[in-house]
Structure 1
Amino acid sequence: MDVKSLILKKLAASNEIRVSDIIGETGFSRAYVNHFFKELRDEGKIILIGKANQARYILAKKNNKAASRSPILSAHKILWNKALSEDKVLDSIKSETGIFFNLPKNISGILDYAFTEMLNNAIEHSKSKKIEVYFKRGKDDINFKVIDWGIGIFKNIKKKKKLRSELEAIQDLIKGKQTTAPKTHTGEGIFFTSKAGDTLVIHGSDKKLIFDNLIEDIFVKNSRRIAGTRIFFTVNIKSKRNLSSVFKMYSGDSFEFSKTKVIIKLFKIGVNYISRSQARRVISGLDKFKNIILDFKGVDTVGQAFADEVFRVWQKRHPDIKIEYRNTSENVEFMIRHSFEKKGI
């Protein structure tokens, strides 16, 4: 008996069949019948829908292929980091699941960018032999995780840039245009990814760096120590964000990445004001930009030394760079104005 022909004949007469239907008609064992179903799947002639006792098969028509993927709203892959290509991983998730079905164009674009950037970072920087990725679509949002067991992002920055601590590495990272591989990377990926979604969480060693765009804030939290790096990204399906507006916000007319926003309160390490040495950490590396926005949200006061170092000393060395400041308290505003008076503004 030609079991494969029987399966196709049954499917032509009905929308779907189960393995048990063929077993009942032929009397063959489940293992034997499953062999023919697998061959037809490998040949691309039939599609499996559901799992375990809900498993059933349909003909592999174009519409059926889409229908078979639409209920699959999550993906999990364990990848070996050898000749790995982030775009091919994303393509496989799209072809195997319904996660991207009927997504607004702006959300699809954000996910394409964020996922490939974060996976590429793990591929090229982590030195991890294995990388794990998760993708999940919920009722209101879509999230993904990228996990590696490599050197760890904060530890890597600390080592390559010869910094004193991993907290300093975090401070360096949030500025943007910072990279441990300047010949092959611009340092823009994490910066723009952190602005594109609702949240981006970067967990390395015993620290979590959290970008929360819903409340427009950034946090650093202590967490359990891990090996490697864990990235978690989420965006609401109805979000109005789009990549072009994010790029434009931090770019000049030439679309060069020329503007950055530094959250000052992240540099306030257990003191009531920010010193000159801390000010130097804030402005380190910012000479790559043409426009800098210093956000003092949550900072009650700053020391005279900090204001002088940034707004007089550093600005005098870089007169072509524009420094803006926002969300200053009365005390912070006073110290900044005082530094302006000292340089005759």
Structure 2
Amino acid sequence: MNTPSSIPATIFVILASKETVSSSELATAAGVTRQAAHYHLRRLSDEGVLVPEGSRRSSRYRLRADRVASYPLHGQMEHEVWAAEKKALGVLYPDLLSGPILGVLNFTFTEMVNNAIDHSLGTSLSIRWILTKSTVTFEVEDNGVGAFEALRESRGFTSNFQSIGELSKGKQTSAPDRHSGLGIFLTSKMTSLFTLIANEYSWKVDAETDDYAVGALPHYKQGTLVRCVFPRDVTVTLQDVMRQVSDPVTHRLNRTSLKVELFSEGMFISRTEAKLLSARLEGFEKVELDFTNVDEIGQGFADELFRVWKRDHGEIELIPINLNHAVQAMIAAVEAE
């Protein structure tokens, strides 16, 4: 079920693979009425995010871009791309790049560009900026192998879906000798709406509702597209996010929160699924496991995670949250053994 705040994210996902979208297409994709879809399209049009085309009954909407730029990826440096974009934006919108938003864009934009340079194996980079009275949005798109595929190959996963859950842990990268793996993880926590589209999947993180969604895009083109939306009066900083997930003394990243639902396309039954979820969590001291939308778990899954893994990693605290009675009972049963 889509919430009102998630419908704009659905619009952006559709427009990642198509130039325009209609109210009927949005209604089908979002599972809402055509009237509701039309309302959201018109609202984004009024805000200057979308541009309507055609007559009233056959209207279609496309994204408006205030600036579009392309760069070759070979030999590119992320700070040089940011310097060029910052200069261009400063000429077009001299009052934009001041205050907290400048620091937020500096970190998130360069991290996403760097990912494309170092991981995509692509040849070109496309940048788009969309500015409204209340928000700043950038898109970074490459024509490479796709972020989920790159991580799947480096980790030996059996599907690209597994890469989504892995990225949500933090400290995950397809090039560990060159990266800490924190770029996407921290960026997703600094935006009001973060969307990553690659390899026929979309992953959306909505900070305003503390929600996420994974969708299938069977016809999405090659490469990776990252879209980051920020309020113009942004208050969050990189330091704020780091304080949430790191040790106050050593400043080492030691806490993470996982949406358990991201680690399986079906039931959570087997020990293998538990091992996938717990893989590479040894670098953390506290791991929050969010069981939202997980109706039940198998005995093998629960035993592997909450008895065997906890026994072997006694220094790491597992904190399950948002459990229903069935999940809570299964965890209690294996912990009592």
Query: What secondary structure does 2:282 align onto?
Result: helix
C-alpha displacement of 1:89: 1.6
2:251 equivalent among 241, 251, 255: 255
Structure 2 equivalent of residue 232 of structure 1: 227
Query: What secondary structure does 1:214 align onto?
Result: coil
Query: What secondary structure does 2:222 align onto?
Result: coil
C-alpha displacement of 1:83: 2.4
**Residue 339 (str. 1) matches residue 334 (str. 2):** yes
Q: For residues 50-93 of structure 1, what are the alpha-carbon distances to aligned partners after superposition, in whole Å with 9 as ceiling and x for unaligned?
A: xxxxxxxxxxxxxxxxxxxxxxx932211011321212222222
C-alpha displacement of 1:196: 0.6
C-alpha displacement of 1:322: 1.3
C-alpha displacement of 1:186: 0.5
Structure 1 equivalent of residue 13 of structure 2: none
1:246 equivalent among 220, 241, 244: 241
Structure 1 equivalent of residue 211 of structure 2: 217
Amino acid corresponding to residue 336 of structure 1 in structure 2: I
Query: What secondary structure does 1:287 align onto?
Result: coil
Distance in 2, matches of 1:82 and 1:304, equals 50
Structure 2 equivalent of residue 276 of structure 1: 271
Structure 2 equivalent of residue 145 of structure 1: 139
Structure 2 equivalent of residue 294 of structure 1: 289
Structure 1 equivalent of residue 149 of structure 2: 155
Distance in 1, matches of 2:113 and 2:94, equals 18
Range that drifts further, 322-331 or 91-100: 91-100
Return closer, same or farther for 1:191/1:100 CA change in 2, 3 Å cut-off.
farther
Distance in 2, matches of 1:260 and 1:80, equals 35
Distance in 2, matches of 1:236 and 1:282, equals 33
Range that drifts further, 239-248 or 186-195: 239-248
Structure 2 equivalent of residue 93 of structure 1: 85
Amino acid corresponding to residue 161 of structure 2 in structure 1: L
Distance in 2, matches of 1:106 and 1:96, equals 19
Structure 1 equivalent of residue 76 of structure 2: 84
Structure 1 equivalent of residue 303 of structure 2: 308
Distance in 1, matches of 2:252 and 2:170, equals 13
Structure 2 equivalent of residue 129 of structure 1: 123
Query: What secondary structure does 1:124 align onto?
Result: helix
1:115 equivalent among 82, 91, 109: 109
Structure 2 equivalent of residue 178 of structure 1: 172
The number of equivalent residue pairs is 269
Structure 2 equivalent of residue 105 of structure 1: 99
Distance in 1, matches of 2:96 and 2:116, equals 29
Distance in 2, matches of 1:307 and 1:105, equals 47
**Residue 74 (str. 1) matches residue 69 (str. 2):** no
CA contact (8 A) 1:267 1:274 kept: no
Amino acid corresponding to residue 240 of structure 1 in structure 2: T
CA contact (8 A) 1:136 1:143 kept: yes
Q: For residues 98-120 of structure 1, what are the alpha-carbon distances to aligned partners after superposition, in whole Å with 9 as ceiling and x for unaligned?
A: 45725563322221111000000
C-alpha displacement of 1:218: 1.9
Amino acid corresponding to residue 156 of structure 2 in structure 1: K
Identity between Structure 1 and Structure 2 (%): 30
Query: What secondary structure does 1:288 align onto?
Result: coil
C-alpha displacement of 1:178: 1.0
C-alpha RMSD over aligned residues: 1.7
Distance in 1, matches of 2:282 and 2:114, equals 27
CA contact (8 A) 2:136 2:231 kept: yes
Unaligned stretches of 5+ residues in structure 1:
1-72
2:187 equivalent among 176, 189, 193: 193
Structure 2 equivalent of residue 56 of structure 1: none
Range that drifts further, 188-197 or 295-304: 295-304
Return closer, same or farther for 1:292/1:175 CA change in 2, 3 Å cut-off.
same
The one of the two structures with greater contact order (alpha-carbon pairs below 8 A, sep at least 6) is 2
Distance in 1, matches of 2:297 and 2:112, equals 35
Structure 2 equivalent of residue 267 of structure 1: 263
Return closer, same or farther for 1:85/1:309 CA change in 2, 3 Å cut-off.
same
